[in-house]
Amino acid sequence: MTDQVRLGIVGYGAQGSMYARLIREGAVPSMVIGAIADIDPDKRTVAGEANPGVPIHDSFDALVASGDVDAVITTVPHFLHPEMGIAALNAGLHALVEKPAGVYTKQVAELNAVAASKPELTFAIMFNQRNNPLYRRLKEIVDAGEIGDILRTNWLITNWWRPQGYYDQSEWRATWGGEGGGVLVNQAPHQLDLWQWICGVPKSVFAKAAFGYRRDIAVEDEVTALIDYGNGATGVFVTATHDIVGTDRFEILGTQGKIVVEGSKTATVTRLNKPEIELSAGMDMSDVMRLFMGEFDPTELYTTEVIEFESAWGGQHAGVLENFAQAILTGAELLAPGSEGINGVRLANAIHLSAWTGREVALDSDPDVYLDALNEHIAEEGKFPTRA
C-alpha cells in the first residue's frame, strides 16, 4: 500500500455515488477509488461513465477477488452489511460498513467477532454524525463532567417525513424481510447512535410503536421509547415519518447543567455554578420570594453558552472516509469504530421487542428472542426468506 487507500465501493446508488464523487473531487486526500461493484448493469454503466479508468465489477465477490482494493465500503441493503463486512475481513480487506451495522443483534455480533479476531485490519462504521463538530463538542462537555451526572435525556426527532410514494418505489422498502424495520432502521440510526455515544448505553427500554400508523406499510412509522440507564436516570426517544413540519430537539439534563440542541445545529449549554442540589439547599424563603416575584438574577446561579458550527454538505462523510484511511495508513484512532455499531442495533431491537410484547426489555436480552420474533413477522409478510 502507498500513501493512499484503494477503496472498493459496493453498491452504486445514492450513497455509493456520493462517496465516489467526494473521492474524485479530492475531499478524501488519503483515498482513491480502487473499484466499484453493482449487480445492476445500468448502475455499472453510470459508474463507469462517472469514474473513467476505475474497474467496474458485476458482484461483490468479483470485487473482493480482483486485487483492485485494500478496503471496502458497503452501500447495500441493511441485511447485507454484516455478511459483506465478514466476507471482506476474511479476505484480508479493511471494512467500513454503512449504518446500521445490521438489522438484528445476532448478525452484528458475528461481524464484531470476526473483526476482533483480525486486529491487523481496520473495521469502522459510517456514523458521519460523529464527525459533526457540534456533537463532538457536546460529547467533550458531557465526558468532562461540565454538566455533572446525567439525570434525564430526551430526543424528539420527527423531521423524517416521508410520503407514501417513497415507500411505494420498491418492493423491499418498509418491510420486515426486505429492510428489517421502519424509521428505527432506516432514518433514525444516527440519532440512536449519538444518543448512546454521548449519554451512555441504557440498561432497558419500554416502548410503544405504531406499525403502519399513518402510511400503508408493515413496519414502524411512529415510536415513543422510555429508557432506563440503571442508576435512576431515564430518557425518552420519539420519532416518526408522518410529521410534515418535524422537530429535532435533543435535551440532556445533568446535576450541574443542561444542554439543549435545536435542529442539530445550535446547542445552548447551561452550566450551574454549583450542583443543583446544593443550590436548592442553600436557598431560604427570601430567595424563594425573589424567584416567585421575578426579581431573581439567573446569572447568580449559572452561565449560558450558545454553540453553533457550520458544517459543509458532505464534509462529515468525507471526514469519516479520511479518518478510516488514516486509521489504515497510520493507526489513527477511529471516529466510529465498527464494533460500536451494535449499540444502536441492540436498542432498535429492544424497542421493537418491547412494542411487540408490551413489556420492558433489557438491552442484554438473548438475541435469539428478537430474531425469532422478527422471523415471525417476516413469515407473516410472505415476501422474503426468514433469517438465521
Domain ranges of the chain: 5-127+314-338, 131-310+344-381
- Averaged pLDDT for residues 138-155: 98
Return the amino acid letter for 24: R
Q: How many beta carbons lie within 10 A of that of residue 114, not counting itself?
A: 19
Average pLDDT, the chain: 96
Q: How far apart are CA 323 and CA 271, in angstroms?
A: 32
Q: What is the pLDDT of residues 64-107, one digit of tens each?
A: 999 999 999 999 999 999 999 999 999 999 999 999 999 999 99
Q: What is the pLDDT of residues 312-337, one digit of tens each?
A: 656 899 999 999 999 999 999 999 99
- Averaged pLDDT for residues 370-387: 97
Q: Percent of the chain, pLDDT > 70?
A: 99
Of 96, 75, 10, residue with least CA distance to 327: 96
pLDDT at 365: 95
Query: Could you tell me which CATH class the domain 5-127+314-338 is placed in?
Result: alpha beta
Distances from the Cα of 65 to the Cαs of 16, 54, 83, 123, in angstroms?
A: 20, 16, 16, 19
Q: How far is CA 203 from the centre of its chain?
A: 18
Q: How confident is the model at residue 298 (pLDDT cuts 50, 70, 90)?
A: confident
pLDDT at 8: 98
| β strands within the chain, DSSP E | 5-10, 31-37, 56-57, 71-74, 94-97, 123-125, 150-157, 204-211, 220-228, 234-240, 248-254, 257-262, 266-272, 302-308, 361-362
Beta carbons of 157 and 225 less than 8 angstroms apart? no
59 — alpha (psi -120 to 50), left (phi > 0) or beta?
beta
CATH for 131-310+344-381?
3.30.360.10
pLDDT at 297: 82
pLDDT at 296: 79
pLDDT at 300: 84
Q: What is the pLDDT of residues 182-238, one digit of tens each?
A: 999 999 999 999 999 999 999 999 999 999 999 999 999 999 999 999 999 999 999
Q: How confident is the model at residue 299 (pLDDT cuts 50, 70, 90)?
A: confident
